[in-house]
């Protein structure tokens, strides 16, 4: 206690000595009164502290350290220029409670103090009042008071520790105008020193007076005083940027915690401008502003006026009216230039696209022309080879390369149901081995051993020994390409298979026997350096079209039905159909046929039978108006037109396909019974021909062919006299090979319908029957029953024998059933040998057995656009033919 008392009186004596010194400096009365009140307050508090300390009872036990308690007392006030300034209080330390006992194992010492941290209330609420100062805080020193937040960081505590006046004070002086000449020559050191003035410090009393208000916010200096000094502008709270980086101030951050993000955003901008002291309150005010901070407002945050003036001088162009005009003009020009650039960019992009399209078109045209040129060279080479082949004698040993491929357009192959299975139903070609001078290379998909054994047995029944004369070639890439690729195309894309064929035919007479002639067969023939048992591709393609075949028939004076085939558009189609109806009022039904289609796929019919308006028109044939009849036809056309395969086309799609690919409209005979007659011809390379057989087509859906009955007994016809002029005309154009002529028979007369080139499945059945020494049979090449796919291969033939569906080897009469490739696909062929009536009965019995074996099925509407033949339709048609034959 004595030490505290001595320390207190010593400090007071020092302060009194300072007062005497200050009086000698002639301070103003106002400053002296302020200093007196401050000293009086400190002396009074020190005496109170001494009195309280003396009243404490001495004790050997250490006193407990208690938490600070906030004690509300009247704050002493000092009047300064009409304003009240609050001063901190020094209170005694309460000692009513005993120190709690400490746990064992912890360090005990009388010299350990509490951590220098902020008060808990101040940590939880930075905006709360500053806490009171206790004895322990005083004992820990001024540094502890600043770190714990009891004294703000911006308070200058230097004057409390000063003793006497400072010898020197350094401040900037006005630099001499460089335009004026200096009277003296100064060295570099003297020049630097001349920028400063040296004078004794006379502001010690003012610093002590400022110390009294260091615990509160500082007051701003009036603008007049700032203009007089022109050195430093006072601010309430000062922060600093040194070397381009902000000096952290914790107390400033606590005061402005709610807007600290905005303050840091402004400070980052100020760091890029200049270093120096900044007005913290001005920065906080800008951070709370809702408007964008302008550069001039950032300059106003600096306290040092020289820095502000230097920044204004450097950037004065940014704040002048001229600079604003230039800025506006530059902005307008920027937008104009940007708009022009975007416009030019769009033009360039369009030009580039046009150039790309044009170059692509050029490349496409060049490629097409190059392909045509190469194909022309290939065809010319093949023509020369074909000319030599016309002179070859085919009665010598030779090799036939059979490629049973549907070489038709891609969209046709995609719309064929069970496309691969249909190509696999051509094994009847093998019976051409009846000729001992012939060897066959048969190209097909891999076959099951049961199917191979079945046909080898049939060859044995026909008296054919295939050993050394029959070779099966399977394209190695058949499973690597889409399923709708034709067999010829797959062979062309399988180099190993083609190499095998070239090794087999090396040095021997060979030629390709196609099913439907396409470009792929000609490419394979050119690669193998062999021939094709057919005419030129362009002529075969031409006469395979129904409209071109009609022109050929007219040229040969064959009977043809009233027809028209040169249509340009849909309106032209309606016009020409109206003209046909006006010229042939007795015709009740008109057939529409697309040129490139087959088996009734592109067939439709338009019936006027029972139409009352048409009946009324026919009563007055000489007064028919074209417009009236055309309107009637245009109205009835989409309603009365029936499609053979409605699942493939709608009426609009059919009409578009008809106009695009070409077609023919012909009259259908007004007869109760109309049948189709087929004449199969083999026109050899030397001009001789052989009529292989004639047949009557089994028709469903008006014009869809599902089978044939051999031979035909409907029309009493001299076939040779009919075929002779046609064969001569074809051979003149170097066309030879297999072809089929179709006739439409009615009431003892007929119309010629179409030509079909190639060895198709029906000619293949004739080859098999010829090998069996008969020409009477019924053949249905494609039968699909989904229930068969669920049965086993052996069960099918075991049940066939039990039901009497068999073939008599000795008499060579009965039923032959074979699969395309796998029973799991449910596709098979049916051939019944015997007289026409018996063959029809055998076919009907076989179909009834298959229906019983696979189960009853009903028609279902398929969403696939394919030419599906329903099993129930075939069975119904054969039952009808069987009942007619038995009568």
Q: Which of 248, 278, 308 is the last residue of a domain?
A: 308
Q: Please say if the pLDDT value at position 741 is more than 70.
A: yes
- Return the higher-pLDDT residue of 545 and 124: 545
- DSSP string across 631-677: HHHHHHHHHHEEES-TTT--HHHHHHHHHHH-EEEEEEP--S-EEEE
- Return the higher-pLDDT residue of 876 and 861: 876
Q: Please say if the pLDDT value at position 730 is more than 50.
A: yes
Q: Please say if the pLDDT value at position 438 is more than 70.
A: yes
Paired strand residues for 696:
677, 709
Residue 165 lies inside a defined structural domain of this protein: no
Closest listed residue to residue 710, CA positions, set 740, 742, 749, 678 = 678
- Token pair 């052989």 is found at 690
**pLDDT in the model for residue 3:** 56
Q: What is the pLDDT of residues 350-386, one digit of tens each?
A: 999 999 999 999 999 999 999 888 878 887 888 888 8
Residues 197-223: what's their mean pLDDT? 40
Residue 93 lies inside a defined structural domain of this protein: no
Q: Please say if the pLDDT value at position 302 is more than 60.
A: yes
Give the least confident one: 240-244, 379-383, 483-487, 507-511: 379-383
Asked whether residue 586 falls in the same domain as residue 486, the answer is no
Residue 581 lies inside a defined structural domain of this protein: yes
Helix runs in 114-160, H state only:
120-124, 135-139, 142-147
Asked whether residue 575 falls in the same domain as residue 520, the answer is no
**pLDDT in the model for residue 308:** 66
Q: Total domain count for the chain?
A: 5
Confidence of residue 72 (pLDDT cuts 50, 70, 90): very low
- Token pair 């075969």 is found at 540
Residue 877 lies inside a defined structural domain of this protein: yes
Asked whether residue 781 falls in the same domain as residue 833, the answer is yes
Q: Long-range contacts of range 92-97, CB-CB < 8 Å, 24 or more positions apart?
A: 92/49, 92/52, 92/53, 92/135, 93/63, 93/66, 93/134, 93/135, 93/136, 94/66, 94/69, 95/56, 95/63, 95/64, 95/66, 97/64, 97/66
**pLDDT in the model for residue 336:** 92
- With vertex at residue 120, the alpha carbon angle to CA 115 and CA 121, rounded to the nearest 5 degrees, is 150
Q: Please say if the pLDDT value at position 712 is more than 50.
A: yes
Q: Please say if the pLDDT value at position 427 is more than 60.
A: yes
Residue 814 lies inside a defined structural domain of this protein: yes
Q: Please say if the pLDDT value at position 501 is more than 70.
A: yes
Residue 580 lies inside a defined structural domain of this protein: yes
Q: What is the pLDDT of residues 88-120, one digit of tens each?
A: 444 444 444 444 444 444 444 444 445 456 666
Asked whether residue 808 falls in the same domain as residue 870, the answer is yes
Closest listed residue to residue 740, CA positions, set 783, 708, 777, 780 = 708
Residue 89 lies inside a defined structural domain of this protein: no
Asked whether residue 440 falls in the same domain as residue 522, the answer is yes
**Counting Cβ atoms within 10 Å, is residue 84 exposed (0-12), middle (13-18) or buried (19+)?**
exposed
Phi, psi of 721 (to 5 degrees): -65, -25
Confidence of residue 341 (pLDDT cuts 50, 70, 90): very high
Asked whether residue 520 falls in the same domain as residue 575, the answer is no
The average confidence (pLDDT) of the chain is: 78
Which stretches of 49-163 are assigned E, i.e. beta strand? 77-80, 83-86
Q: Edge-to-edge strand order for the sheet containing 245-246?
A: 245-246, 238-242, 276-279
Residue 132 lies inside a defined structural domain of this protein: yes
Q: What is the CATH number of the domain that holds 402?
A: 3.40.50
Asked whether residue 438 falls in the same domain as residue 510, the answer is yes
Q: Please say if the pLDDT value at position 536 is more than 90.
A: no
DSSP H or E segment with residue 580:
helix 570-583
**pLDDT in the model for residue 62:** 43
Q: Please say if the pLDDT value at position 311 is more than 70.
A: no
Asked whether residue 584 falls in the same domain as residue 519, the answer is no
Asked whether residue 148 falls in the same domain as residue 271, the answer is no
Angle between helices 2-24 and 29-55 (to 10 degrees): 170
Q: Which of 270, 286, 308 is the last residue of a domain?
A: 308
CA distance 242 to 246: 6
% pLDDT > 70, the chain: 73
**pLDDT in the model for residue 148:** 72
CA distance 528 to 75: 119
Q: Please say if the pLDDT value at position 181 is more than 90.
A: no
Q: Please say if the pLDDT value at position 478 is more than 50.
A: yes
Residues 172-197: what's their mean pLDDT? 43
**Count of beta carbons in the 10 Å neighbourhood of residue 447:** 19
Asked whether residue 607 falls in the same domain as residue 530, the answer is no
**pLDDT in the model for residue 208:** 37
**pLDDT in the model for residue 681:** 95
**Peptide bond before residue 711 is cis, with ω within 30 degrees of 0:** yes
Asked whether residue 881 falls in the same domain as residue 817, the answer is yes
Which stretches of 160-237 are assigned E, i.e. beta strand? 169-172, 196-199
Q: Please say if the pLDDT value at position 696 is more than 50.
A: yes
Which stretches of 10-121 are assigned E, i.e. beta strand? 77-80, 83-86
Q: Which of 612, 637, 664 is the last residue of a domain?
A: 664
- Return the higher-pLDDT residue of 413 and 167: 413
Domain hosting 596: range is 562-664
Q: Please say if the pLDDT value at position 586 is more than 50.
A: yes
Closest listed residue to residue 796, CA positions, set 777, 821, 818 = 818
Asked whether residue 462 falls in the same domain as residue 512, the answer is yes
- DSSP string across 492-551: HT-HHHHHHHHHHSTTS-EEEEEEE--HHHHHHHHHHT-EESS--HHHHHHHTSHHHHHH
- Return the higher-pLDDT residue of 692 and 310: 692
Q: Please say if the pLDDT value at position 618 is more than 90.
A: no
CA distance 559 to 516: 26
């Amino acid at each position: 206690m004595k030490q505290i008392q001595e320390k207190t009186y010593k400090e007071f004596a020092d302060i009194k000595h300072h007062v005497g010194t200050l009086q000698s400096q002639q301070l103003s009365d106002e400053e002296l009164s302020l200093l007196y009140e401050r000293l009086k307050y400190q002396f009074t508090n020190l005496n109170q502290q001494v009195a309280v300390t003396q009243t404490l009872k001495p004790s050997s036990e250490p006193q407990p350290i208690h938490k600070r308690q906030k004690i509300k007392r009247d704050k002493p006030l000092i009047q300064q220029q009409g304003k009240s300034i609050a001063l901190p209080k020094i209170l005694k330390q309460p000692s009513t409670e005993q120190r709690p006992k400490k746990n064992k194992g912890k360090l005990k010492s009388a010299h350990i103090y509490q951590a220098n941290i902020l008060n808990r209330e101040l940590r939880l609420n930075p905006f709360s009042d500053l806490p009171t100062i206790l004895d322990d805080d005083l004992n820990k020193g001024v540094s502890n008071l600043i770190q714990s937040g009891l004294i703000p960081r911006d308070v200058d505590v230097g004057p409390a520790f000063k003793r006497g006046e400072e010898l020197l004070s350094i401040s900037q002086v006005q630099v001499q105008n460089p335009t004026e000449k200096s009277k003296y020559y100064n060295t570099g050191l003297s020049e630097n020193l001349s920028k400063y003035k040296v004078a004794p410090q006379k502001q010690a009393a003012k610093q002590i007076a400022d110390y009294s208000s260091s615990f509160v916010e500082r007051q701003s200096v009036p603008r007049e005083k700032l203009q007089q000094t022109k050195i430093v502008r006072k601010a309430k709270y000062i922060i600093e940027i040194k070397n381009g980086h902000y000096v952290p101030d914790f107390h400033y951050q606590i005061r402005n915690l709610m807007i600290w993000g905005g303050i840091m955003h402004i400070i980052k901008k100020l760091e890029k401008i200049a270093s120096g002291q900044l007005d913290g309150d001005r920065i906080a005010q800008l951070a709370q502003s809702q408007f964008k901070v302008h550069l001039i407002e950032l300059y106003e945050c600096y306290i040092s006026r020289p820095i502000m003036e230097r920044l204004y001088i450097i950037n004065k162009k940014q704040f002048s009216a001229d600079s604003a005009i230039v800025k506006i003009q530059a902005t307008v020009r920027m937008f104009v230039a940007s708009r022009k650039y975007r416009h030019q960019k769009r033009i360039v992009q369009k030009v580039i696209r046009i150039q790309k399209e044009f170059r692509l078109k050029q490349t496409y045209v060049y490629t097409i022309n190059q392909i045509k040129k190469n194909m022309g060279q290939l065809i010319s080479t093949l023509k020369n080879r074909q000319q030599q082949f016309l002179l070859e004698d085919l009665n010598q040993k030779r090799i036939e390369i059979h490629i049973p491929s549907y070489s038709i357009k891609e969209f046709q192959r995609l719309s064929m149901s069970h496309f691969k299975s249909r190509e696999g139903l051509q094994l009847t070609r093998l019976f051409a081995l009846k000729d001992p001078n012939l060897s066959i290379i048969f190209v097909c998909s891999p076959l099951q051993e049961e199917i191979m054994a079945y046909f080898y047995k049939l060859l044995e029944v026909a008296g054919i020994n295939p050993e050394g004369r029959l070779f099966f070639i399977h394209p190695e890439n058949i499973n690597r390409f889409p399923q709708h690729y034709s067999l010829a195309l797959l062979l062309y894309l399988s180099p190993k298979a083609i190499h095998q064929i070239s090794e087999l035919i090396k040095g021997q007479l060979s030629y390709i026997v196609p099913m439907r002639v396409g470009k792929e067969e000609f490419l394979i023939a050119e690669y193998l350096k062999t021939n094709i048992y057919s005419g030129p591709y362009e002529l075969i393609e031409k006469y395979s079209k129904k409209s071109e075949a009609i022109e050929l028939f007219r040229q040969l004076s064959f009977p043809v039905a009233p027809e028209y085939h040169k249509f340009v558009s849909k309106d032209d189609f309606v016009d020409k159909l109206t003209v046909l109806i006006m010229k042939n009022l007795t015709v009740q039904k008109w057939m529409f046929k697309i040129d490139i289609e087959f088996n009734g796929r592109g067939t439709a019919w338009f019936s006027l039978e029972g139409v009352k308006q048409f009946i009324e028109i026919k009563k007055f044939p000489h007064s028919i108006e074209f417009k009236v009849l055309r309107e009637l036809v245009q109205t009835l056309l989409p309603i009365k037109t029936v499609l053979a395969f409605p699942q493939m086309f709608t009426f609009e799609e059919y009409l578009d396909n008809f106009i695009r690919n070409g077609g023919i409209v012909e009259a259908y005979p007004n007869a109760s019974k109309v049948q189709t007659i087929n004449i199969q011809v083999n026109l050899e390379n030397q001009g001789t021909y052989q009529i292989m057989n004639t047949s009557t087509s089994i028709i469903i859906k008006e014009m869809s062919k599902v089978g044939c009955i051999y031979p035909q007994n409907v029309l009493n016809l001299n076939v040779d006299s009919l075929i002779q002029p046609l064969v001569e005309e074809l051979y003149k154009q170097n066309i030879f090979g297999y072809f089929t002529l179709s006739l439409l028979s009615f009431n003892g007369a007929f119309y010629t319908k179409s030509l079909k080139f190639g060895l198709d499945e029906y000619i293949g059945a004739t080859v098999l029957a010829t090998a069996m020494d008969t020409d009477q049979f019924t053949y249905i090449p494609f039968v699909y029953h989904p229930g068969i796919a669920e049965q086993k291969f052996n069960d099918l033939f075991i049940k066939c024998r039990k039901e009497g569906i068999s073939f008599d080897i000795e008499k060579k009469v009965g039923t032959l059933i074979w699969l395309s490739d796998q029973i799991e696909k449910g596709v098979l062929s049916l051939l019944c040998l015997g007289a026409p009536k018996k063959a029809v009965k055998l076919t009907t019995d076989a179909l009834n057995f298959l229906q019983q074996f696979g189960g009853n099925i009903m028609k279902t509407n398929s969403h696939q656009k394919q030419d599906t033949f329903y099993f129930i339709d075939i069975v119904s048609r054969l039952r009808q033919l069987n009942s007619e034959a038995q009568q």
